[in-house]
A and B are shown apart, each in its own frame.
Chain A
């Protein structure tokens, strides 16, 4: 196996690259206060929310896109994007059967169950197509348990007091450039509320699909777990193959009160561009969880395989005493993909703990960066962090970088950081071959072993899916 042949095993065509032919209501390109008013009006939002958007927009105008990430791209023309796209004039849906058949076929093709009978047992799904939520399954059954799971727009209509109480408390609109943009123009997303003492009876899941070429997707997700509540939530994403870049700038906020636990898992498979780096999603996402209560816990698990550019740092603010933050990540880049991803663990409360396990896999001529911050505030007596960042290189033309930032302001804190870099090399593959095992199987075994610590954190069905996905992504990278 030459190095060149080694590259060709990572090359599997993207299976979700089709476009749904559906009439869409697409707003003209460009961003202005009028556009924001239009979006807010279309969604029949209350005044306070319009004001929230406008404040965010006015602040955004004063900001410049961040330049510190280890990624390269042409400047994004924010006036050349459409900020709203929805399948046309659908009547209000009472049940699944009223979903536009074309949409239903789309999601069937993607393997996303929209019929409750056909659904994965025990998983409720909110389905977002471009800018709007198409449907949410199992709402009635969840409601019996007191769990609210619906699209963000519906939450604004049905539970405005909850949305208003928590929106922007974890990621303030002024947090960063893309968070400000999202706060101004977000269109839909998911809302989950788990009341006091309730263990959510099923996995919650949102499936995001970008379909329109000229539109961006700006979704907003808010999950609140009250005291002693528990929820496990999964997010999946795909997009068609276009030769232009689409912008995806989401904001996800998690709030965990006393003894609450939120597990948030992502399997991200946005279109990554072709083998020459043409097209693909620009994924600029702000995800943050607030462990507000004592003994609360927030756990992020992500498997990032798609996007031309990934800029994403799911973080935990550990405010409550003894609260726990976790971050488990596998980021795979191939061809010309660029990923700059990691986490922030901000220890503010006493005896808070955090764990970071990051696995970066680079192939082709891609660039894979781990960037993580561990901060221990002056009052975080006894805080502990353990970080482990491992990189694996496939072939000789890719790169991996690790940027850990550690800022400790309390002498009793313990912060550990370990890092390693390995390469799947000719010698390993030859070793497998000399035992009868071909390159594809060898790579898949090495990669799965490498990612084991992260995959075990995923809900069972998704661990299987993630394993398959990595296999597909790497097929053909070694020959």
Chain B
């Protein structure tokens, strides 16, 4: 993967959940080496976009196409998308009682490795590997022995998501509200982790409400989403403008 190569191309995407259309003709292009931020008011469809791209079964795509490195992404099962290098960091990661984080992370790692022809790790090798990545996120090794997300604080859950991104080394990472519910310290740690993973071979899509995350992870592009479409794309400064002026001036313009 070289910088500038198109990794993800979304064209005219329409999608609905429970019979209600949420995405209404969305276009987006991510190239290797880029960080994009999607902002927008509540209900504009930001989380829906994340879930549709990852293949959540509750969402139906009615029109449009998504090419992932030239492959028809929408034709792939969610697990196949992950194996091809797509990653979704969840806004609300689910708890999986009874399954230790260590075995979950190793299964995920080995499955994705197997999918891309990489080397799988046995529990001891994986333990060394994962501990190295955990240092990046200032995570206590005790995390490994706890059940997946069970009883984790909001900040711990978010760090666990970024840890998974660090392990799976995706080509396209979609991070849905990676900053919500974080205190200042946790925000710093999560942002540092994301910045460290940003590379020439991958692209990151930050879905966020607030521009504070963007102080730490500086995006190349900021998109404003409203009513299921991207209504404005601009440089990093657009986020600052949104912070001071709100969304009304844009959404009003869209309606006019």
Contact = CB atoms under 8 A, between A and B. Distances in A.
List of 5 A-B pairs having minimum Cβ-Cβ separation, nearest first = A449-B98, A435-B108, A433-B78, A436-B82, A449-B99
Interface stretch (A10-18, A65-73, A437-445): A437-445
Contacts of A434: 54-55, 78-79, 81-82, 87-88, 90
A374 to B, nearest CB: 25
A435 B111 contact: yes
28 contacts: A1-B57, A427-B94, A428-B94, A430-B56, A433-B77, A433-B78, A433-B82, A434-B78, A434-B82, A434-B88, A434-B90, A435-B104, A435-B108, A435-B168, A436-B82, A436-B108, A436-B111, A436-B112, A436-B168, A445-B99, A446-B98, A446-B99, A449-B96, A449-B99, A449-B100, A450-B97, A450-B98, A452-B98
Contact of A422 (B57, B58, B83, B97): B97
Nearest to B115: A436
B97 A449 contact: yes
Contacts of A427: 94
Contacts of B79: 432-438
A437 B111 contact: yes
Interface of B: 54-58, 77-79, 81-83, 87-88, 90, 93-94, 96-100, 103-104, 107-108, 111-112, 115, 147, 164, 168
B57 A426 contact: yes
A431 B82 CA distance: 11
Contacts of A449: 96-100, 147
A2 interface: yes
Contacts of A446: 96, 98-99
B85 to A, nearest CB: 10
Contacts, number: 74
B83 A431 contact: no
A435 B100 CA distance: 15
Given A2-B57, A422-B97, 5 more contacts: A431-B96, A435-B79, A437-B108, A445-B104, A452-B98
Interface secondary structure of A, over-half rule: helix
Contacts of A432: 79, 108
Contacts of B87: 434
Contacts of A452: 98
B147 to A, nearest CB: 7
Nearest to B111: A436
A437 B103 CA distance: 12
A128 B56 CA distance: 50
A436 B107 CA distance: 9
A355 B56 CA distance: 41
